[in-house]
Chains A and B, each alone.
Chain A
Amino acid sequence: MIKDNYIKLRNISKKFNEVTAVDSLDLDIREGEFFSLLGPSGCGKTTLLRILAGFEYPTTGSVFIDDSEVTNQTPNLRPSNMVFQNYAIFPHINVQRNIEFGLRKEKLSKQELDLRVNESLKMVQLEGYEERFSNQLSGGQRQRVALARALVKRPKVLLLDEPLGALDKKLREEMQIELRNLQKDLGITFIFVTHDQEEAMTMSDRVAVMNEGKILQISPPKELYNNPINKFVSEFIGNINLLESKTITQNNQDLSLDILGVGKQDFKKNNFNYILSDNIFVALRPEDIYIKKEKIENVDINIHGVVKNVSFYGESTYFYVKVKGIKKLLMVSNYVDQVSINENDECNLGFNLKDIKLVS
């Protein structure tokens, strides 16, 4: 039976002097899930992770791991282990002894110890590195040692504090896939802190987007991308165009907006199952806007603009289009070679109502 609230945070607040880092927050994390805490720096995600690890104690609230309360337990007594941002490999002992470090209390025989160390080194593909010291390892290898050292303890939860931030792009992408596979194989609950939305999206079962000490939305990556709950989330995840609007009427069923640069538009409110304020933005992903020189058929809304900038990204091209009445340039993406439009060309843009997200 997989528990939905394997990790349970209730009413967690953390204040540093006058600054509120985490603000009365509730969170349930499933057993065996890859869960990411995503947010800009200073949003409280690292503080939250450190509260889970026991390096910080919450000002209010309680923490449960697998039904037992750990709120006031010191880190050494908790069934969680952490991979630190800078790996924190002990520099004065070699890889073997780094990995053994946490097993001392288990009173294993030398043979069992070697077996466990070997097993975890195999897990991170670092066999044969037992005698190395931290300064003889590359960044990626240190990262693996840190991972092995935490996993050898067979924790109930593995906490990862931006562990990929220091690696270069290619290695980071490899490690993302490797981490994901490792997590699936082991079935251990991973809680992963990152400010990189791409990283969170590619690896996680669910992502919690945080800002100013609060969790704004918890969803699987696709859901997060397609149905952002508010303006902050929509802007933080992927690229998006936000069109300003004026609310003409809003009641329980219907919503009528005057979208700047587009015109009056009616929406059925039951398509948007959350409450909107009066200051509503119409959000459109760049790939949901069609761009052509000639008139676009079979779309709900057609507008006209001038291309100001074209950026080529390999698999796609981004057009930045000036539309009369819209302050910011509209971002439109298109696959290579589908259209040949240059800077300063006039163009037609089209999109469908079903692709519109309303946020505030």
Chain B
Amino acid sequence: MYRKNSSLFIYCIFYFGFLYIPVLLLPIFSFNDSFHMVFPLKGFTFDWYIEMWNKARLHQALWNSIKVGIIASIISTFIALFAAKAFTRYKVKFSGLSYGAILLPFIIPEIIIAVAFIVIWTSMGLKLGLIPITISHVLYCTPFCLLILISRMEGFDKSLEEASMDLGENAFGTFWRITLPLLLPGIVASLLLSFVISFDEFILAFFLSSSDQTLPIYMWSQLRFPKKLPHVLALGAIIIVATSFIVMLSYWFRNIGQSKNNKNLEI
């Protein structure tokens, strides 16, 4: 039984309020019948959502973001999959160093990655656009994928792979028939999470984009015009709902079968 602790409870209310009330303002104002984000609310409307629906450039930006997100999440999950296998199953030389190197984008400020990337990319004479954005997103997403997959990999017993080898499967067959199916929830979680990260990413996309905008860049570009603010709020509201849903889904996938596996280990 938990004893009720009122001071802790108040702390929780403040904490969550501080985190989420500003975010909740977005959906509220997206239904407000006014160009200005001020209280009191004027009246209820769906106009901004309808306006949003009719913007061709928004559609283009959305499609760009989806393309970048899908490609970046697949590539970074792929890289992380093999890295996770190497880190957890083989004795790799300099494994500590290379592990650190992969996780480095976590701590390097994004703007520094962005500046470095744009310098290298343009000095090679290459064009800015969706391709460098995708590549930089791979760099940025891989550490997240790696952490998810390593924890999944450590969650299942190495002797399962050994048993498969013992029963006549070679390394590839073992990976295909045992490792991959057992990792699948982790792989799906990694794909979803890295997609969301790429989808929401602003700084790298801002530096590396040219005429092709991703959704966050599009939103930012619209903020300069007060009359365009409301439909960005509507878009923002939808993105909040959609990404929260995907992240929850990814956590659900990440844990699927995990408790079942643990039950197998206790005898």
Chain A interface residues toward B at CB < 8 A:
53-55, 74-76, 80-82, 84-86, 88-92, 101-102, 104-105, 134-135, 139, 142, 149-150, 153, 166-167
Given A90-B178, A92-B181, A166-B267: A82 in contact with B166 (beta carbons within 8 A): yes
B166 near A86: Cβ-Cβ < 8 Å: no
Assuming A82-B163, A84-B159, A101-B164, is B264 touching A89 (CB within 8 A)? Answer: yes
Residues on A with beta carbons closer than 8 Å to the beta carbon of B178? 90
Chain A proximity of B167: nearest CB distance (Å): 3
B260/A135 in contact, CB under 8 A: yes
Residues from chain B with a CB closer than 8 A to the CB of A142 are 267
Bound: A197/B257 CA distance, A: 38
B interface residue count range (under 10 / 10 to 19 / 20 to 34 / 35 or more) = 20 to 34
Cβ B167 vs Cβ A102 within 8 A: yes
Interface residues in B178-208 (C-beta closer than 8 Å to A): 178, 181-182
A85-B159, A88-B157 provided; 13 other pairs, C-beta below 8 A?
Answer: A54-B165, A76-B165, A76-B169, A76-B170, A81-B167, A86-B265, A88-B160, A88-B162, A88-B163, A90-B163, A91-B160, A91-B257, A166-B267
Q: Taking A86-B267, A88-B159, A88-B160 as contacts, is the C-beta distance between A101 and B181 under 8 angstroms?
A: no
Taken together as a complex, chains A and B put the C-alpha atoms of A139 and B167 apart, in Å, by 21
Partner of A81, one of B160, B166, B181, B261: B166
CB nearest to B184 among chain A residues: A92
- Please determine whether A92 and B182 come into contact, CB atoms closer than 8 angstroms: yes
Q: Which of B167, B169, B178 has the most CB of A within 10 A?
A: B167
Report the separation of the CA atoms of residues A277 and B168 in the bound assembly, to the nearest whole angstrom.
Answer: 49
Q: For chains A and B in complex, what number of residue pairs have CB atoms within 8 angstroms?
A: 75
In the bound complex, residues from chain A placing their C-beta under 8 Å from that of B263 are: 135
Across the A-B interface, the 3 shortest Cβ-Cβ residue pairs: A102-B167, A88-B163, A88-B159
A142→B170 CA distance, assembly (Å): 24
Does A75 contact B165, Cβ atoms closer than 8 Å? yes
Indicate if the CB atoms of A139 and B162 lie closer than 8 Å.
no
Q: Contacts A92-B181, A92-B182 given: A139-B170 contact, CB under 8 Å?
A: no
The answer to whether A90 and B168 touch across the interface, beta carbons within 8 angstroms, is no
